[in-house]
């Protein structure tokens, strides 16, 4: 009887140990699952936060090969260089434009080329801004300026369109002019030459060399704007 009682007691303790081990395993699994769920939430929140704080970088120009290399398309040229430099393909055709998502200096960005033709650029800009919930102050527009020497830059935190039809349309659709912009000089038009003919003309060989330097400076200035270093961008590149 003593042996039977002893065996019975051992079995009871074995079951208690098994139960405790199972309970501990359940708790460990629960903690592990909680950790995984927490990491997933943090990851999802990180993605949402990144998209919420994204910058929209817009280069203005006219679509089709007919306008490639013209003075009015310098915004497209800068976007192409940013796309290559930061490995952000403009491979999504949507919202009346071609665009791509990526990162510049660690900041989430969307690079956009509106395909609406210059005067209707705002239609594409506002659609992409709304889709990604990007505020107007986080929109950066790069475009040509006939009042600046070839390859020179002028950076502003906000302001009027200054007679530029593409900017007029963007301001109209966003409902504000309070967003940063980079104007890239394409030179003043010759006397008596029609303005439309001039902005749709191409650069001379000498001008192209100056424009290449201008595109490089515009890319560096864009990176500063993306990091909210607008004062430094203006100090480093305005008039240069």
Supply the residues annotated as catalytic. 72
Q: With b meaning 16 or more CB within 10 Å and e meaning fewer, what string describes 194-229? A: eeeebbebebeeebeebbeebbebbbebbbbbbeee
User: How many residues in the chain?
Assistant: 240
List Cα–Cα distances, 95 to 129, 139, 166, 202, in angstroms.
10, 16, 16, 29
Q: In 10 A of CB 8, how many CB atoms?
A: 10
Instruction: Please state the φ and ψ torsions of residue 155, each to the nearest 5 degrees.
Output: -110, 135
Alpha helix (H) residue ranges in the chain: 2-52, 74-85, 121-131, 165-174, 195-199, 205-226, 230-237
What are the backbone dihedrals phi and psi of residue 230, each rounded to the nearest 5 degrees, phi first?
A: -70, -35
């Amino acid at each position: 009887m003593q042996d039977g009682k002893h065996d019975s007691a051992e079995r009871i303790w074995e079951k208690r140990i098994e139960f405790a081990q199972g309970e501990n395993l359940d708790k460990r699994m629960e903690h592990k699952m909680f950790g995984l769920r927490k990491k997933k939430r943090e990851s999802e929140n990180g993605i949402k936060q990144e998209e919420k704080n994204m910058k929209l970088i817009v280069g203005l120009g006219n679509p089709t090969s007919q306008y490639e290399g013209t003075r009015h398309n310098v915004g497209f040229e800068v976007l192409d260089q940013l796309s290559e430099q930061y490995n952000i393909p403009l491979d999504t055709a949507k919202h009346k434009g071609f665009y791509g998502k990526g990162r510049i200096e660690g900041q989430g960005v969307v690079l956009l080329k509106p395909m609406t033709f210059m005067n209707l650029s705002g239609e594409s800009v506002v659609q992409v801004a709304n889709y990604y919930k990007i505020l107007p102050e986080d929109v950066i527009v790069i475009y040509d300026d006939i009042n600046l020497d070839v390859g020179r830059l002028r950076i502003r935190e906000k302001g009027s369109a200054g007679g530029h039809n593409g900017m007029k349309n963007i301001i109209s659709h966003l409902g504000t002019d309070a967003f940063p912009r980079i104007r890239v000089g394409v030179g003043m038009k010759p006397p008596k030459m029609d303005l439309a003919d001039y902005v749709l003309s191409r650069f001379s060989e000498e001008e192209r060399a100056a424009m290449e330097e201008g595109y490089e400076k515009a890319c560096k200035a864009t990176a500063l704007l993306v990091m909210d270093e607008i004062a430094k961008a203006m100090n480093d590149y305005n008039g240069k």
